[in-house]
Amino acid sequence: MSDLTDLSLAAARDALVKKDISAVELAKAQIAAIEKARALNCFIVETPEKALQMAALSDQRLAKGEAGPLEGIPLGIKDLYCTKGVQTTAASHILEGFVPSYESTVSSNLWRDGAVMLGKLNLDEFAMGSSNETSYFGPVTSPWRRPGSNVQIVPGGSSGGSASAVAARLCFGATATDTGGSIRQPAAFTGTVGIKPTYGRCSRWGVVAFASSLDQAGPIARDVRDAAILMRSMAGFDPKDSTSVDLPVPDYEASIGTSVKGKVIGIPKEYRLPGMPAEIEKLWAEGVAWLKAAGATIVDITLPHTRYALPAYYIVAPAEASSNLARYDGIRYGLRVPGKDIADLYESTRAAGFGKEVRRRVMIGTYVLSAGYYDAYYVRAQKIRTLIKRDFETSFANGVDAILTPATPSAAFGIGEKGAADPVEMYLNDVFTVTVNMAGLPGIAVPAGVSAEGLPLALQLIGRAFEEETLFSLASVIEEAAPKIDLPQKWWV
C-alpha cells in the first residue's frame, strides 16, 4: 500500500474495518509526518502518546467488530476546543498553561465515535484573524507555495492550523470554527473542503467563545465525502448549549453523488464586486456551467443588503468579543500579571495577555456598546443583520435551493503582505463569507481551480437552514467536475 497518509479519511476507515491496516500503524504514520512538518507550525501541542493509546484501544474494538464510525481515524483539534487534560490556549498568551478538566461536546462526539487525537492545532488568537498571523505561538505556514518562489504563504484564518495540517496530510481531518468565514476561507486557500454548518447544528459547549451568536463548529477535510463523514459525528443536539437545535442528524455521506437535477441555484448579483479579479469571475462562471451540466437550474437573484454585511459584522462580532473576553482578567485562570491594586492587575494582565488584533477588537466592541454609541452602532448593525437574513429567506421562499458564490476575493497571499498598515485590508477577505454567519445559514467551500500563481481557488455554496445534505450533493458535483488540484510538493520535509 502507498503512503498511509495519502489515503482519504473514507479510504482509511474502510481499510481499518477490513483490517488491511491497523489504527496504531495509521497513528504512527501521521505522528511521523507531523514531526517532519514542524516548519509549518500547524500544531501548538502534539499528543503522540495519547494518539497511540487511543489507537491501541481502537484496534481492540476493531478486532471485536465494535468499531465506531470514525474508529482509528487520526484527527487534529483546533486549539479553541477544550480537551480534558490537554492544554487549551485559543492561541493566546493569556490562556497559556490552561489545562481543562472537561471535554468540549464536539470533541467528545469524535472520541465517542472512535477518532484518535493527534494534538491541538494553531489558529489566529481567539479566532480573530483571516491569515493565522495573530497567534501568540507564531504564524502557520501553508504547505502551498507559488511555483519558483520561497515566499511563505498564509493558510487563511482563523482555522489556519486546521487547513494547513489537512492540506499537508498531517491528519485525516480537523475540527475548526467559523465566525465570519474561519472554516471556508482557510479551506479555500489550501485546496481543502470546509463546511460551516447551520447555527445550532453543532454544539458550542466547551469551545472558547469569540462571538456567541456567530460562532459555529465544523470540519475541514481532504474532500467532500470526508467532510460529510466528520460532520455527522460532530453534529447533534446538546442540552448544555442553549442554542443547540434538537433535530435528527442525517447521514450526510449518503448525499454524496445524489442527483442535483431540478435543483435551483441562485447567483447573487451583489457578489460581483468592483475590481473582482478576472480569474475569480471565470471560476464562478465555470461553477455555474458545471452545475448546469448536472441538471441544476440557474437563476439570478438579488441580496440587496449584502453591501452592509461586512461593516455590520465588524460591529456585532467585536461587541460580542468584548463581552466574552471580559472573563480573562488574571483572577480565575490563565496569565496573571501582578498590580498595585485590583484594577491595575486587570489592566496589566490583559495588556500583556492579549495580542494586538484582540486588543483592537475588544476596544472596538467596548466602544460600540458604550452609552451614547449603542443605538448608533450596535442596534443598527443588528437591524441590518435582520435584513440580511430576510434577503436569504426571500430567495429560498422563491424556490432557490442553494446559492453559488466565490469563496474568497483572491487566492492566498504571502505572510506579512496584507493588513500591517491597514487592518481593513485584511477584513475584506471575509467579504463573501460573513453574510452566511449573520444569517445563521450553512455554507461550504469546495476547491474548484488554481490561480495564475498556481494557488488553490474555491467556490462557496450557501444553503437553507439545516439542509447541509443539499450542499454536500452540490459540492460533490463541483468536486467531480473541477480540474484536480495537484498536492503541494513536500518542501518542508
Active site residues: 78, 158, 182
350 CB-near residues (< 8 Å, 6+ apart): 94, 328, 329, 330, 359
Q: What is the DSSP string of 23-59?
A: HHHHHHHHHHHHHHTGGG--EEEE-HHHHHHHHHHHH
CA end-to-end distance (rounded Å), the chain: 21
CA-to-CA dists, residue 15 to 10, 76, 87, angstroms = 9, 20, 32
Using an 8 Å Cβ cutoff, are 88 and 95 in contact?
A: yes
Q: To 5 degrees, how large is the angle CA 97–CA 52–CA 107?
A: 55
Using an 8 Å Cβ cutoff, are 43 and 161 in contact?
A: yes
Residue whose cell numbers read 465517542: 112
Alpha carbon 271 to chain centroid, angstroms: 21
Rg (CA), the chain: 21
Q: What are the start-end ranges of the E strands in 232-362?
A: 264-268, 297-301
Q: Which amino acid is at 57?
A: L
| β-bridge mates for residue 298, sequence order | 265
Residue whose cell numbers read 454548518: 197
Cell representation of residue 224: 467532500
Alpha carbon 354 to chain centroid, angstroms: 22
CA-to-CA dists, residue 199 to 12, 130, 202, 230, 261, angstroms = 30, 20, 7, 17, 27
CA-to-CA dists, residue 459 to 144, 187, 297, 405, angstroms = 18, 10, 17, 6
Using an 8 Å Cβ cutoff, are 461 and 155 in contact?
A: no
